[in-house]
Structure 1
Amino acid sequence: MKVKYIYQQFISHISIIIVAFLVLSLIFTQYVENLVYENKTEELISYGDNILRDLDRGSERPDQVINQYARVLFGRDIQFSVFDENIQLLNPIRWRGPAIEFTEKEWRKLTNGEPIVMKYDLERYDRAVTLVALPYLEQGRFIGGILLTSPIGGAREMIAEINKYLFYTVLIALAVSFLLSWLLSRIHVNRIKKLQEATSMVSAGDYTVKVPSSDFDEIGELANDFNSMVGRLNESKSEIERLEHRRRQFMSDVSHELRTPLTTISGMIEGLKNDMIPEAEKERGIQLVSQETKRLIRLVNENLDYDKIRSNQVQLFKEDIELIEVLEVIQEQLEMQAEERGNTIEVDAEPSAVVHADYDRLVQILINITKNSIQFTENGTIRLRGRMDGNMTVIEIEDTGIGIEPSEIEKIWDRFYKADLSRTSNPFGEFGLGLSIVKQLVQMHDGKIQVESEQGRGTKFVIELPFR
């Protein structure tokens, strides 16, 4: 059975209030009743002590003392009787109270000089009374006693009156509590309902929804967490859309790049197969096929390298390497490619600089960055520097090329990003995977890489690798 949350809240509030009022009413009623009985008992004991004390003072005329008190107490609806050790009444006037009857236990207690106090006794008398019996001692010897009784009807009437007003108070309090509980329940349910509606909107794909939040209570904190979650989901959605756009662009670029070399290779093979190419042009055609094949292999290798790195399938074999030797190797390998664009590569490294890294992966890092510098520099200079900085090896690759816009710097590490989409025919890093691989490899070496660039004035990559 489904029960709405507002009803659960309301019922729980009212139940707690009702139970609290009932317990409070019972405790208060019992307290007032005990207080009334105790006051009545103290009053009877006080009258009894006074009567016995006056009997001691005027022992020659006990009937006079009894008569004086009888007239006063009977008017207050208090009956008393004085009796001797044989339970014979000493009252000179007619006794209007109940017969004097004691149980064996009560009589033994009384004769031992102990008073008897009972709040009420419905079995012994025809109505509820407060009963007090006091011993009358003479030089420590029991010679009689006094019995005082007073009906508790008036006290009960007072208690009933108190209970009536208490009942009215409870009804008024319940009415107020009813309204407050309903109001509070509605407020809490509305807040939860807003969260529920917002959650439904999020499940439907709307990540821009927000709910009112606060630090007042747990629901407010939940709303804060919900807004934070939705914000992150919205960012993730934007990132996914951005990556999807790049993926489509990448596939388009790959399709274009694959189509061109495959068309060239296919055409040249058909031409050679059917002797459609002159003998003088065959060697040039074969060289063109070789270049296009290497281009396709480079694309496949870049993708395989990236996937291996992302899946932690690359194992590093670190060793101490003289940095100047590695930089000179990079200079020799890429010098011809740099000259094709009118660039020169300069090496400036401390002779004592040493790097602790995997040689093959370090070369891969430096070649990718240097090729990137060659790609975006024309008739300029690419400088390879190396030095030690404490326990870190610092490698800098700086060019004098076109630079990168500040808004584009953080994006260059993305897998499918290309800083200049117009240069898709460039043979170096044209698929936007090189720098992404570089960053992953640097992080695998527990290092970090930064880039500084100013548009129109060049770019500098700074790599820091820990030396053991």
Structure 2
Amino acid sequence: MKMLYQQMMAFFGVIAVTLVIVSILFIRSTTNTVWQNSFNQLEQYTDVLKDRAVDNDTYLINAQFIENAEEILAKQNVHFMIYDAANNARYPNIPGGAPQAIASKYWSQLKKGNTVALPELTTNPQNGRQQRMTIYYKPVFLSQKLLFVIAAFAPVENIQSSIQQTEKNLVVAFLLSLLAAIVISYFLARFQVNRINRLRQATHQVAEGDYDVQVQFDKKGHDEVAALADDFQDMVGSLRESQAEIHRQEERRRQFMADAAHEMRTPLTTINGLLEGLAYDAIPEESKGESIALMQKETKRLIRLVNENLDYEKIRTNQILLNKQTFNATEALHDIVSQLQQKAEASNDQLVLTAADEVPVFADHDRFVQVLFNITQNAIQFTQNGTITISAKAGYHQTELAVQDTGIGMSPDQVKNIWERYYKADPSRKNTKYGESGLGLAIVHQLVTRHGGTIKVESALNQGTTFFITFPDEETAPKQAPITHTK
């Protein structure tokens, strides 16, 4: 069964059950009200007769008054009887008739001063014939002595006709309500099913690879289906981002393979050419030593490239253990400046260290040196006739460092990609002697992240670049993660 009909049946069932219950309660309430009103009317009639139809002193019955009253109430078929204290009928005086006396079980109640209301009595008290009647008995006392009993009665048909007319009207209203319930149920079910169909159609689109689908419902009537649509939209957004990331990573993988092949092909081609020259004595004797030295240099370059790849993967997959301790960052920076001083002078650069004598840092000493060495060397690589400034200071629960150069700078797109392996902001300088593999900054980013620190870059073309690095202190640094092994 389709969901439209299921929803429609559900709504219709609820409405129908509600209508049935309301109808039953209404009929019962109406019936009780009609009977109660009938008894109230009979009681009012007996009150009038008590005051006007019987003389309490002489006990004489004003038969003319009663007859007039019966004529007035002829359309309602209301009649009256009056009994004396001996349960004898004093009115009406029916020639040859034998009005029935009040049954003893009711007479005992009347003698106690209680009124008696009898619904649907099957015998007419005037003539004793079988007839459904409603009778109301009212006793009249004087000084706690029963004087007489007034009886007012009417056929039940009057009441039944009123109840039947009410039931007939109610049935018509019930049928019309059921018809309206069907229409309302259809539109409510259709509304809900249409919302679900929109989600279903959107799901098919996503399954076919379309992640630009939009499913949003009215916020005013926010219910479970609307919440599901919001969650679905969030899921689609995540899938869209994941798909974009997959495409980006695939492009980076292809670029990585091409760059890795290019990086390795150059030294391998050089080594192969030199080996062929040596094998066929194509290299003069006086140049053989230089050729062997060049092969050693290219071999070391290949080894360095492989080691950097292995180092990056170990850091990325959490396979290295950081030996973190607190030491003086200024001393380590002095050593870095000393090691790179010659390279800076070769580019006519000036290295400047700005730091207090004591700047504590909590990190792995060797990895700290590796991070700052790579960043500083990278600054020297892209700066000619400029200044590289290294600064360090103690911050709030962290050590803050910066490496600023006055080099060629980078565009926003270049800044966004510098942490990728083999990415180089200046492709024309792929084979410079200081920036061979393009893995340095990727390793730097992974090492800083493993320390729980941050690294940010601010750069502009032809205006220089600044790297901002922070290392958290021992209190706020993350705990060392266990070494994991990957196959």
Q: What TM-score results when the alignment is normalised by the length of structure 2?
A: 0.85
Aligned residue number for residue 421 of structure 1: 427
CA distance in 2, matches of 1:344, 1:161: 110
1:92 positional shift: 4.2
Cα distance in 2, alignment partners of residues 290 and 98 from structure 1: 143
Structure 2 counterpart of 1:466, one-letter code: P
Q: The residue matched to 1:93 in structure 2 has which SS?
A: coil
Q: Which residue among 172, 177, 180 is the counterpart of 1:173?
A: 177
- 2:478 is aligned to none
Q: Distance in 2 between matches of 1:294 and 1:26?
A: 98
Gaps spanning 5+ residues in structure 1: where? none
Distance change in 2, residues 1:140/1:204 (3 Å): same
Which position in structure 2 is the counterpart of 1:464? Answer: 470
Over 3 Å counting, the alpha-carbon distance change for 1:51 and 1:257 in structure 2 is: same
Q: 1:365·1:441 contact (CA, 8 Å) conserved in 2?
A: yes
Tell me, in whole angstroms, the C-alpha distance in 1 between the residues paired with 2:160 and 2:152.
19
CA RMSD of aligned residues (A): 2.9
C-alpha spacing 1:164/1:428, structure 2 compared with 1 (3 Å): farther
Q: 1:420: Cα distance to partner?
A: 2.7
| Mapping of residues 297-376 of structure 1, within 5 Å | 297-376=303-382
Query: 3-state SS of the aligned residue for 1:316?
Result: coil
- Verify the 8 A CA contact 1:214 1:223 in the aligned structure 2: no
Contact kept, 8 Å, 1:83 with 1:144, in 2: the verdict is: yes
Q: What is the alpha-carbon distance in structure 2 between the residues aligned to residue 227 and residue 97 of structure 1?
A: 90
Query: CA, structure 1 residues 427+333, in 2 after alignment: closer, same or farther (shift >3 Å)?
Result: same
Aligned length: 464
Q: 1:32 aligns with which of 16, 30, 33?
A: 30
Following the alignment from structure 2 to structure 1, what is the Cα–Cα distance between the partners of residues 83 and 147?
9
For the Cα contact (< 8 Å) 1:324–1:350, is it kept in 2?
A: yes
Q: State the 1:32 CA deviation.
A: 1.9
Matched residue, 1:398: 404
Change (3 A) 1:82 1:283: same
Deviation at 1:277, TM superposition (A): 5.1
Paired letter, 2:135: L
Q: 1:66 to 1:269 in 2, by over 3 A?
A: farther
- Which amino acid in 2 is paired with 1:50? V
Give the drift of 1:419: 1.9
Q: Tell me the SS of whatever aligns to 1:133.
A: strand
Bigger Cα displacement from structure 2, 235-244 vs 116-125: 116-125
Secondary structure of the structure 1 residue equivalent to 2:82: strand
* Residue pairs, 1:99-138, within 5 angstroms: 99-102=100-103, 104=105, 106-121=106-121, 126-138=130-142
Cα displacement (A) at 1:15: 1.6
Residues 432 and 226 of structure 1, relative CA distance in 2, 3 Å threshold? farther
Q: Distance in 1 between matches of 2:15 and 2:325?
A: 76
- Asked whether 1:72 is paired with 2:66, we answer no
2:165 counterpart (161, 177, 185): 161
Task: Please tell me the residue identity of whatever aligns with 1:16.
Answer: V
What SS does the corresponding residue of 1:90 show, helix, strand or coil? strand
User: Residue 199 of structure 2 corresponds to which residue in structure 1?
Assistant: 195
User: What is the deviation of 1:200?
Assistant: 0.8
SS in structure 2 of the partner of residue 402 of structure 1 = coil
Q: Distance in 1 between matches of 2:440 and 2:11?
A: 65
- In 1, the alpha carbon distance for the partners of 2:321 and 2:123 equals 100
Q: Taking structure 1 as reference, are residues 4 and 71 closer, same or farther at Cα in structure 2, changes over 3 Å only?
A: same
**Cα 1:120/1:283, change in 2 over 3 Å:** farther
Q: Judge which range, 157-166 or 258-267, deviates more.
A: 258-267
Q: Does 1:436 align with 2:442?
A: yes
Q: Give 1:407 deviation, angstroms.
A: 3.2
Q: Secondary structure at the match of 1:393?
A: strand
- Provide the secondary structure at the position in 1 that maps to 2:466: strand
Kept in 1, the 8 Å contact 2:53–2:65? The answer is no
- Percent identity over the alignment? 38
Superposition deviation, residue 351 in structure 1: 1.5
Q: Report the alpha carbon displacement of residue 274 of structure 1 after superposing the two structures with TM.
A: 7.3
100 and 291 in structure 1: CA distance in 2 versus 1, 3 angstrom threshold: farther
- Partner Cα separation in structure 2 for residue 261 and residue 228 of structure 1: 49
Contact 2:81–2:92 (8 Å) recurs in 1: no
TM-score normalized by the length of structure 1: 0.88
Q: Residue 9 of structure 1 is aligned with which of 7, 10, 22?
A: 7
Does 2:382 align with 1:384? Answer: no
CA shift for structure 1 position 267: 4.7
Contact 1:381 1:400 in 2 (8 A): yes
Q: Distance in 1 between matches of 2:59 and 2:86?
A: 20
Q: How far apart, CA to CA, are the structure 2 residues paired with 1:127 and 1:273?
A: 138
Q: Deviations over 1:142-171 (max 9, x none)?
A: 355233221221222122222222333333
Q: d(CA) in 2 for partners of 1:31 and 1:153?
A: 19
* Matched position secondary structure for 1:16: helix
Q: Secondary structure at the match of 1:113?
A: coil
| Contact in 1 for aligned 2:256/2:421 (Cα 8 Å) | no
Q: Which amino acid aligns with 2:467?
A: F
Cα contact 1:250–1:431 (8 A) shared by 2: no
Aligned partner of 1:240 in structure 2 is: 246
Maintained 8 Å contact 1:215/1:221: no
Distance 2:56 2:144 in 1: 19
Query: Structure 2: any 5+ residue segments left out of the alignment?
Result: 475-487
Cα distance change on mapping 1:114 and 1:342 into 2, 3 Å: same
Per the alignment, do residues 441 and 48 of structure 1 end up closer, same or farther by CA in structure 2, a change over 3 Å counting?
same
1:252 to partner: Cα distance: 0.8
Query: Could you report, residue by residue, the CA deviation over 1:1-34 in whole angstroms, capped at 9, with x for unpaired residues?
Result: xx22211221122222222222222222222222
Structure 1 residues 57 and 302, CA gap change in structure 2 (3 angstroms)? farther
State the match for 2:269 in structure 1: 263
Deviations 1:294-349 (A, max 9, x none): 32233233333333333333322222222222112212333344444444433332
Q: What is the distance in 2 between the residues matched to 1:129 and 1:415? A: 105
Please give the alpha-carbon distance, in whole angstroms, between the structure 2 residues aligned to 1:276 and 1:97.
157
Q: Secondary structure at the match of 1:119?
A: strand
